[in-house]
Structure 1
Amino acid sequence: MSEPGLRARQPKAIQNALAVLEAAAHAGPGVTAQQISEALGMPRATTYRLITLLVEDEYLVRLPDLRGFALGHKVADLAGVSAAPALAPLPRAVRSVLADVRSAVRAGVHLARYDVAGVRDIDVDPDFPLLDEAALRATPGSSAMGRLHAEGGLGPVHQVGAFTAGFGCLALPVRGERGELVAGLTLSAPAARVSSPGDALVHLRRAVTRLEPLLG
């Protein structure tokens, strides 16, 4: 007897969803629904429906420019990429600062800690997850956040195209009471905004000023 609620068609749907994830992983960030459909020989309507469900459940993420998709953070979690011990929840004041700057810049804003273990994400923007978390973990020195750490906090530091064509990130140092580097605040956005951040840089600097007494 089958499990309650498990219908005959569901195992096939699960297989199709896994196939979509595998196709997205092979193609890399920016793959479109049409490309996935063609690669799998799957009807477009079925592909679009599965992609919509996978985005809703955060296994896929739509890129900020709406041109395609990338693997979401849940895939990285399943792969053991985020295997580091869980950190304590962020104080409410820190979460408030992050919410304010994210609302102001309308792009991905991430916060990471620097310690003896290296760079550790402590708050990834839920609306704009990291585009290629596996690659970021494999080569942290290629990211703006990693370069900021390597250069001792001489920032801002930016990179464009290291992980995803047409996208980049800009990292600002967050310092402690003695001027030591304790964290980094990163803007993740299309390349044009990273190269010429404009008002976004103003909002990021204000956020850093508010974060330093909270994190230092």
Structure 2
Amino acid sequence: MARPVPAATAALRVLRLLSGQPVPMPAARIADALGLPRSTTYHLLTVMADEDFVVHYPEDRTWGMGLAAWEVGHGFTRQEPLARLARVPLARLVDAVGESAHLVVLLGSDVLYVIEERAPGRPPLVTDVGVRLPAHLTASGRAILAGLPAAQVRALYPNRDAFVSRTGLGPTSPTELRRLLVDTRARGHATEDGEVTSGFASVAAAVAAGTIHASVAVTWESRRAPDLPELADAVRATAAEITARLRHGP
């Protein structure tokens, strides 16, 4: 007869399993993977959701990592090398283009700002380190969402209620977001103009950072209208450099 697994041990095993998955998992698959009774697994997931360590996606009947787990667990510790390795390339990008730049990671349906490099003489932005913004409104978030499996995007944005607005602009339904992400994938970079802050625009490209989804973006005042193709190339090059540093070291 199998020895009962303590609840704390089972919870840690659930977190370790979910942290290594690219998309949320059904409870039955979690139970099978860990050798736990399904009734025990459902109870455990409910308790963990109450404490924000996991999140339930009812439309897909799946469970994924929650905010509390990201803050204190595996995801947070892996953010540190990302931030350290990205800081120098991001600073070089700012020097090259003369605009402010930032690095974000995806956190649920938000992006969390990990680094901001302010260009001299440029106005302050809302993207201070530690700020969270809706991913579907930001170029940074769109660059990441465009690379996620369709099922994961549907889980994050199941219906119109999942969409918020800051300036009255931006997608308001899963269909609108899906079309926007198709265009983003085709271009190889994401954009937004006035959807986060009126009078400011951004361009972003995704960073391949393993199980942490990240991106680099540059933001400027819309009235200055920089050379967007040239700026997008610079952002993509910086994202590629950070990816290379993560995989192979400086």
TM-score, length of structure 1 as denominator length? 0.48
